[in-house]
Amino acid sequence: MMLEVNNINVFYGAIHAIREISFQVEEGEIVTLIGANGAGKSTILKTVSGLLHSKTGHIKFLDTDISSANAYSLTRMGLSHVPEGRRIFQELSVEENLEMGAYTRPKGEIRDSMADVFDRFPRLKERRRQVAGTLSGGEQQMLAIGRALMSHPKLVMLDEPSMGLAPLLVEQIFDIIRELNQAGVTILLVEQNARMALQVANRGYVLETGRIILSDEADRLLTNDSVKKAYLGG
């Protein structure tokens, strides 16, 4: 089992944001969490990556309990989180952003990983010395994904990778997700674009106000009447 989340409850002060959530991600899968704005999707990812902590239950990554681990220690274990809004380091150059992605790895291995990222995203190579804040939105998303790959992750968690991007770029991002998965990376995808997410995923969980209300194979969710009505525009 790549990731096992068991009965977590997360609070923001007095607000009960995540209620008794459990789900699993198997090795090699693409799993998606879909739901409306504010359903708690990003909170779940932040809890898995250790930026927030659950009051109950446990989270296991590759059979190690990470419920109370610090965020920075998980990168080394092979967990990578591309946060909502990309969160690249705007004042660092493209190359420095990628170096930060490889922060936990020995210097000798960085060059090869960077070459891999540049192969995948040639635009980033052209702009390697440029300050990241000057990149376009799409390029910034590629940088955010490239930066996450620099740590050589086993599981990548992507939070709204299509947000704010033009349709053509959205297609491109989803192609990249497929390619990464074929290369052996397990993916946990949070998306508001439920149709695209379910098309690329193996399985999906539907969230509503902090609870999982439905879980199934992705293609069955695509034809599920209530999912169609609520998230796929009828």
**Residue numbers at the binding site for other proteins (CB under 8 A):** 49-51, 70-76, 80-81, 83, 87-92, 96, 99-101, 103-104, 133, 137, 140, 147, 151, 164
Q: Left (φ > 0), alpha (ψ -120 to 50) or beta: where does 85 sit?
A: left
The count of C-alpha atoms lying within 13 angstroms of the C-alpha of 15, restricted to the half-sphere facing its C-beta, is 8
Q: For residue 46, give the 3-state DSSP assignment.
A: helix
Least gap, CB of 159 to other proteins (angstroms): 11
Residue closer to other proteins, measured from CB, 95 or 208: 95
Residue closer to other proteins, measured from CB, 18 or 212: 18
Q: For residue 163, give the 3-state DSSP assignment.
A: coil
Q: Could you give the CA distance from residue 52 to residue 60 in angstroms, rounded to a whole number? A: 15
**Dihedral sign for Cα atoms in the order 212, 35, 163, 183:** positive
Residue closer to other proteins, measured from CB, 128 or 228: 128
Which residues are CB-neighbours of 123 under 8 A, at least 6 positions away?
A: 139, 142
Residue closer to other proteins, measured from CB, 91 or 179: 91
Residue closer to other proteins, measured from CB, 79 or 198: 79
Least gap, CB of 126 to other proteins (angstroms): 18
Least gap, CB of 164 to other proteins (angstroms): 6
Least gap, CB of 233 to other proteins (angstroms): 24
**Dihedral sign for Cα atoms in the order 135, 136, 137, 142:** negative
Contact by Cβ (8 Å): 176, 19:
no
Least gap, CB of 134 to other proteins (angstroms): 9
Residue closer to other proteins, measured from CB, 46 or 203: 46
Burial of 227 (0-12, 13-18, 19+ CB in 10 A): buried
Least gap, CB of 172 to other proteins (angstroms): 18
Which residues are CB-neighbours of 104 under 8 A, at least 6 positions away?
A: 75, 76, 151
Residue closer to other proteins, measured from CB, 47 or 224: 47
Backbone φ, ψ for residue 161 (5° rounding): -65, -20
Least gap, CB of 39 to other proteins (angstroms): 21
